[in-house]
Amino acid sequence: MICLLAGSIIQLNSIMAQTITAYKQEIDNWHKQRVASLLAPNGWVNLEGLFWLSPGKNSFGSDEGNDLVYHNPAFPKQAGYFVWENGTVTWTSNNGIKVSIFDSAITSAQIFDETKKAPLLALGSFRWNIIKRDDRIGVRFRNLESPALKKFKGIERFDVQEQWRVTAHLEPVSQSSLLITNVLGQTNAESTPGKLVFTIGNETYRLDPITEDDQLFILFGDATSGKQTYPSGRFLYANKPDANGNTILDFNKAYNPPCAFSNYATCPLPPRQNILPIAITAGEKDYHSEEGKH
């Protein structure tokens, strides 16, 4: 009987060990995909500029005489110019400058209006497109050969621990919008389905999520913010609740906002009620490049 019991315990421990190993592998695989997305052509590490347009004509190039200056001798001194008027933006290339959209060379084209997705313009290793932030229109600029890509050495993480994978229950609220402010100081009302209520260490906590497509998006800070993790907080996704109103918050998948990797991102900030009083020692730690952000 004792031998049978001991055998059962050994088997149970083996199953638990395999489960933990599989879970850690899942998180490691998720992190590898996360890093790959950061280094991708549309990732955050290759950002080298964010230029805000003024109404009317905006000349662009590496020469200091331009309205918008990209400090890189490999970029044309006078590449061309943007014109922002009547809610649209057009780009016109200067003579001899071979800019393309979808691999088709253009000399002049409308590259933004609010009814369409802004196309990506290309010139050698450089890429740029138009973004809108409230009443501001900007040029998001990338360099696919950015030195920051070579200097990227990965992101430190806390050890994966299952205790940071918790069940949360969604409590509906009467207020269906959540005010979110970004690093530019702009505040917008985002859709929220309620409050996520969960327990850690016998204490109950709450986070207000944003509805994003078929998932919940959570901006949060905690006692590690500004110490071990990025000062303004981190991001986390979760599945929408099941029929019982429950979902999983896996803080091992908490990750840095784009602003941790680039000065040219316009990140949202956690609302005050999403600053947790405890240390969430899970997920990504703060990112430090060799020479700071680019």
Q: Does the predicted model carry a pTM greater than 0.75? A: yes
What pLDDT was estimated at residue 107? 97
Q: What DSSP designation does 261 have?
A: T
Quick: pLDDT tens for 113-163.
988 899 999 999 999 999 999 999 999 999 999 999 999 999 999 999 999
Q: How many CB atoms sit inside 10 A of residue 243's CB?
A: 5
Please identify, in words, the CATH class of the domain defined by 47-147: mainly beta
**Radius of gyration, CA atoms only, the chain:** 23
* Range(s) within the chain of domains with CATH label 2.60.200.20: 47-147
Quick: pLDDT tens for 167-182.
999 999 988 899 999 9
What is the arrangement of strands in the sheet containing 108-112, beginning at the earlier edge strand?
Answer: 68-69, 56-61, 80-85, 88-93, 108-112
Q: Which residues of the chain have pLDDT under 70?
A: 1-18, 289-294
3-state helix, strand, coil in the chain (%, to 5): 20, 40, 40
What pLDDT was estimated at residue 8? 47
> Which tokens in the block code for residue 183?
């690093």
